[in-house]
Each structure stands twice: as C-alpha cells, then as structure tokens.
C-alpha cells in the first residue's frame, strides 16, 4: 500500500481513540542521530486505555507498531518506517510519583518519563539508586527494556515491577523475580512497558548529587556527548574465555577510530560512538557499521553485535 494510503488507513483505523495522531510524521528530529525518514503515523496515546485500544486495533488490522522513547539507541532508515510509531509522552506516561503506595523509596514512573529528570529529582529529594543513569539518554520504559546502564550500574538494579501491555492490548504485571536482568538485556516478553515501580534507598541529598556530578564528569570526559550520536553502537562482546571486553577498545585497536563513511564517522573521543554530521544520512551510518564489523572481525576474530536498533520499511524488526 502506498505511504499516503497507509497513513489515511491508520487515521481511519484509530478514529475515536483518545490519542493525538500525526500523519507522515518526520522521525529524524526525535532521534539522537537526527537522521531518517518519516513513519506512516506517530501516535500519542492520552492514557493506558487509549494505548490498549490502539494496540488491539492495529493488531486486528495487521498494522506494525513500534514504540519510540527518547530516540537514543535507534537508527531510522532514510526511507522511514511503516505503520504506527507510539510516543508515550502524555499524561501519566510522562510522570512519576515518589513514595508510591505510601512506601518510602518507591517510585511509580510512566514509561515515557525522562530518566535524566527523574534521576535529578530523586537526587534532590535524597533518594539514591539512579545515579548510574547519569548521562544516559533514555525514557524509563526504554531504559528498562534494554537494562540500560554503564560503568556504575544499570536500571535493573532498582526495578521492583513492570506493567507491560502486549500486542493484543492485554496488561501484564511482572514482578522483579520474573524479570531476568542481564547485560543490555531483559527477559521481558514482547510488548510495551507502560509503567514501572522502582525501589530507591534514602541517602544524604548532597552525597547523591555529588555522585551524579562525578558520573556526569566521567561521561563528558570520555564520550562525545555534544555530538549527534545514539550512544554506544555495539555491545561489549564476550570472548570464548568468558571475558567481556570493550567494543570501543577493539574498534580502536583495529585502527578504525576516525573512520568515515559519508557524513558518519567513528568518534575520536570514544570508538564505540558513531557521530553524524549535519546533512548525514542513515545509509552512511549503516555503511560505517558494516565497515567496523568487518574491520574488527579481521583484526580480532570477533563479530560485534549492534546495541542500536535499526528501523526500516518492510522490516518488522522492533515491531510489537
């Protein structure tokens, strides 16, 4: 079906649903790479029932659905992506409540809540546990889905439970013991994180803020935070010996730091970051990724796996 016809079909399909629908919405401004084409329809559900109804109708009509968080860890193809892209940035999806259910340290956060803002608010109030998310661009839902983190820890360290909506619009309350948190991975079933409960611990507010500043200082000194980059491009691989090694180190030692394809280049600051110039294309990033994978394979005998998700038309990768 032509893009215009698909857009009209989706708009008709979702008539009456409590959601803002943006036809043929450009996605590049919503991603950290700043490249890529449009989606057929960008949908902002106003509440949980609207999200559930959107998923039910799209599943019944065979329309692919993807969810867009903060736009980090994502590369959208230059031609865009088909179907519906959900943005959970309205109402309770974008907010949080401290001392939820009257429990000290418990935070109930919507999937679209900005992780950086939540972390800073927790620090201001003297709640510790989110400092590891300093400098990591993410929504709460996206961070949990991939167990985002870094040198100082991961979001999975504080997750108590997750509310997940599956492709049929059904709710699933999943407690921590049923969620397998691993390096950049969870065992959550396919679906969309709608809400989560996090359990933080009380601490001196000044001490928490100091740790946040220390972690941010480390990130600024070691990563190209001012560039158009989606974060680490590749997962740190595990060698046959069981040792996990730095992907950035392997890329650097393969002589690929500074390597360029069109408007995309390997950062001279951190080799696991790909930066895109103004006017660059998603195709440039894809070519550079292929060159890096091949270069590291030849130099070290290791095949790198991407951490960044790739979306393109006709490919259901990332769809619910």
* pLDDT per residue rounded down to tens, the chain (320 residues): 566 778 889 999 999 999 999 999 999 999 999 999 999 999 999 999 999 999 999 999 999 999 999 999 999 999 999 999 999 999 999 999 999 999 999 999 999 999 999 999 999 999 999 999 998 889 999 999 999 998 899 999 999 999 999 999 999 999 999 999 999 999 999 999 999 999 999 999 999 999 999 999 988 888 887 678 888 999 999 988 889 999 999 999 999 999 999 999 999 999 999 999 999 999 999 999 999 999 999 999 999 999 999 999 999 988 99
Residue 279 lies in a domain: yes
The answer to whether residue 64 sits within a structural domain is yes
158-173 burial: b if 16+ Cβ within 10 Å, else e: bbbbbbbbbbebeeee
Number of structural domains the chain divides into:
3
Q: Given the DSSP bridges, would you call strands 38-45 and 81-86 parallel, antiparallel or unpaired?
A: parallel
What is the reported pLDDT for 225? 72
Which CATH number goes with the domain that contains 253?
3.90.78.10
CATH number for position 78: 3.30.43.10
254, part of any domain = yes
CA distance 136 to 149: 7
- Tens-place pLDDT, residues 295-307: 999 999 999 999 9
Verify that 268 and 177 share a domain, yes or no.
no
Largest separation between any pair of C-alpha atoms in the chain: 58
Residue 313 lies in a domain: no
- On whether both 141 and 72 belong to a single domain, the answer is no
Both 42 and 25 in a single domain?
Answer: yes
- The percent of residues above 90 in pLDDT, for the chain, comes to 88
User: Quick check: is 311 in a domain?
Assistant: no
The tokens of 112 are what? 């679209």
Residues 57 and 82 in one domain: yes
- Is 15 in the same domain as 76? yes
**Would residue 320 count as lying in a domain?**
no
Which residue, of 179, 195, 221, is where some domain finishes?
A: 221
d(CA 43, CA 47): 12
- Do 172 and 240 belong together in one domain? no
Whether residue 228 is contained in a domain is answered as: no
pTM: 0.92
Say whether both 114 and 32 belong to one domain.
Answer: no
109 and 187 inside one domain:
yes
Six token digits for residue 202: 């009380």
Q: What is the CATH number of the domain that holds 215?
A: 3.30.465.10
- Tell me whether residue 109 is in a domain: yes
Of 70, 86, 102, the one marking the end of a domain is 86
Which pLDDT score is estimated for 77? 98
DSSP 205-235: HHHHHHHHHHHHHHHHHHS-TTSS--SBSBP
DSSP E strand boundaries for 27-120:
38-45, 65-67, 74-76, 81-86, 96-98, 106-110
pLDDT tens, residue by residue, 48-59: 999 999 999 999
**67 and 101 assigned to the same domain:** no
98 and 81 assigned to the same domain: no
End-of-domain residue from the set 46, 68, 86: 86
- Specify whether 63 is located in the same domain as 105: no
For 57, 61, 62, 88, 305, the CA distances from 13, given in Å and listed in that order, are 7, 8, 11, 19, 37
Instruction: Please check whether residues 159 and 44 belong to one and the same domain.
Output: no
Owning domain of residue 192 = 94-221
């Amino acid at each position: 079906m032509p893009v215009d016809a698909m857009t009209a079909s989706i708009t008709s399909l979702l008539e009456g649903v409590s959601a803002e629908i943006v036809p043929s919405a450009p996605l590049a401004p919503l991603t950290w790479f700043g490249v890529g084409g449009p989606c057929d329809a960008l949908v902002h559900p106003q509440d949980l029932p609207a999200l559930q109804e959107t998923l039910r109708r799209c599943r019944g009509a065979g329309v692919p659905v993807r969810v867009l968080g903060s736009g980090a860890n994502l590369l959208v193809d230059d031609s865009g992506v088909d179907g519906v892209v959900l943005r959970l940035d309205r109402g309770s999806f974008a907010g949080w409540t401290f001392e939820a259910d009257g429990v000290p340290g418990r935070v109930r956060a919507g999937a679209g809540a900005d992780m950086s803002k939540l972390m800073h608010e927790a620090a201001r109030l003297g709640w510790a546990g989110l400092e590891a998310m300093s400098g990591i661009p993410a929504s709460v839902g996206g961070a949990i889905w991939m167990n985002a983190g870094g040198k100082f820890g991961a979001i999975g360290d504080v997750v108590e439970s997750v509310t997940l909506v599956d492709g049929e619009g059904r709710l699933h309350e999943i407690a921590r013991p049923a969620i397998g948190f691993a390096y950049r991975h969870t065992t959550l079933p396919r679906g969309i994180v709608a809400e989560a409960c996090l359990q933080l611990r009380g601490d001196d507010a000044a001490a928490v803020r100091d740790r946040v500043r220390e972690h941010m200082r480390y990130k600024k000194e070691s990563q190209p935070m001012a560039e158009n980059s989606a974060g680490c491009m590749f997962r740190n691989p595990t060698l046959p010996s069981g040792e996990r090694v730095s992907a950035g180190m392997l890329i650097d030692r393969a002589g690929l730091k500074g390597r360029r394809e069109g408007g995309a280049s390997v950062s001279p600051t951190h080799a696991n970051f790909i930066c895109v110039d103004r006017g660059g294309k998603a195709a440039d990033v894809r070519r550079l990724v292929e060159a890096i994978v091949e270069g590291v394979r030849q130099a070290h005998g290791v095949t790198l796996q991407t951490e960044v998700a790739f979306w393109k038309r006709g490919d259901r990768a990332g769809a619910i």
